[in-house]
Amino acid sequence: LTTAATALALSVTAQAAFAACDDGEIVVKFAHVTNTDKHPKGIAASLFQDRVNEEMDGTMCVEVFPNSTLYDDDQVLEAMLQGDVQMAAPSLSKFETFTKVFQVFDLPFLFPDIAAVDAFQQGETGQAMLDSMQRRGLQGLGFWHNGLKQMSANKPLLVPEDAAGLKFRIQPSDVIVAQMEAIDVSPQPMAFSEVYGALQTGVVDGQENTWSNIYGQKFFEVQDGITETNHGALDYLVVSSVDFLDSLEPEVRDQMLTILSEVTEERNAAVTEVDAEARQSIIDAGGEIRELTPEQRQAWVDAMKPVWEQFSDGIGQDVIDAAVAAGE
């Protein structure tokens, strides 16, 4: 492209992105990496956008950029600190360079279900986590649920030995690295947007993710099957920058945050349904789902749970204890 053509292309893109916003409105760019349909985060972000744009018309305008169209998760937090994007909801596995405390969410076989994750987040320890990155310029605004993770590969996985020697894409998390190494899997951190291609071309053999992500990205099409391990949680932190929040008039900020907390409550309450729908959609689309016997599942627990020990000092044993108690 010539320089002029590039400039034109950029300005067309910029116009498209801001088409819904009027002059004088505060523009809130909300970048995320998933699809919008049948996906807990996609649905919640779109609902937040629709409500702000209707109820705060003339004052504030949210523009959601889904599917990694604006940033990958490994760029979005730096971009937020630069003021190039105002909101995001990366998974809790993606804050490791800012704080170690979120590592608790990645510990394998800690939370039995999303209700336990919710109870922990709503408790004192979880609520304090929202403020844990203020000194680094980031403010947590709430937790959005997705679901428990499942394992998939280009061959059937029933016991941990079936995965030994394979390469798995992972989110960039030291806990997940340790979890995969515990089952002799080679962990390959990679952006979400690249996973389908990497599975398809054999750059990696397998991956772990939730039903809605496996369905939304069509991973089941390029895997032998999905094994229902429910071995870990994948949840989100809705996050903004301290600078952006401070720049808002108090009434404007309060109205935005009230809408956000209502959206959070409504969509979190519906997450089990969205999760189950995505699981069923995989089956309907011809995907293979393998359930484990209690003995098979126990083999995964026995292999992976010992990694907790490596992280208890960094996370804090009190935090781990509070998380375990939330599931009891």
Q: By CB under 6 A, tell whether 125 contacts ligand LMR.
A: no
Among 25, 30, 31, 34, binds ligand LMR (CB under 6 A): 34
Which single residue is written with the structure tokens 């009891």?
328
Measure the CA–CA gap between 295 and 160, rounded to whole angstroms: 12
Q: How far is the CB of 256 from ligand LMR (least distance, A)?
A: 22
Structure tokens at 144: 């959005």
Binding of residue 46 to ligand LMR (CB under 6 A):
no
Instruction: Say if residues 98 and 67 touch (Cβ distance below 8 Å).
Output: no
Q: Is 33 in the site for ligand LMR (CB under 6 A)?
A: yes
* Burial status of residue 50 (CB atoms within 10 A of its CB: 0-12, 13-18, 19 or more): middle
Which of 233, 58, 230 lies closest to 144 in space, CA to CA?
Answer: 233
- What is the full DSSP assignment across 280-323? HHHHHTT--EEEPPHHHHHHHHHHHGGGHHHHHHHH-HHHHHHH
Nearer to ligand LMR, 41 or 279 (CB): 41
Q: Which is nearer to ligand LMR, 182 or 237 (CB)?
A: 237
Residue nearest to ligand LMR (CB): 91
Q: What's the longest Cα–Cα distance across the chain? A: 64
Listed residue (280, 245, 233, 261) closest to 47, CA to CA = 261
Closer Cβ to ligand LMR, 192 or 244, answer by number:
192
- By CB under 6 A, the count of residues binding ligand LMR is 9
Residues 78 and 84: their CA atoms lie apart, in Å, by 9
Residues in region 176-235 near ligand LMR by CB under 6 A? 192, 209, 213
Nearer to ligand LMR, 41 or 297 (CB): 41
Q: Quote the least distance from Cβ 78 to ligand LMR, whole Å.
A: 17
Q: Shortest approach of ligand LMR to residue 190 CB, angstroms? A: 8
**Which of the ranges 33-41, 102-110, 268-276, 299-307 carries the binding residues for ligand LMR, by CB under 6 A?**
33-41
Q: Which is nearer to ligand LMR, 46 or 209 (CB)?
A: 209
Of the candidates 155, 191, 152, 187, the residue with the CA atom closest to the CA atom of residue 168: 187
Any contact of residue 240 with ligand LMR (CB under 6 A)? no
Q: Does 263 engage in binding with ligand LMR (CB under 6 A)? A: no
- State the residues that interact with ligand LMR by CB under 6 A: 33-34, 41, 91, 146, 171, 192, 209, 213
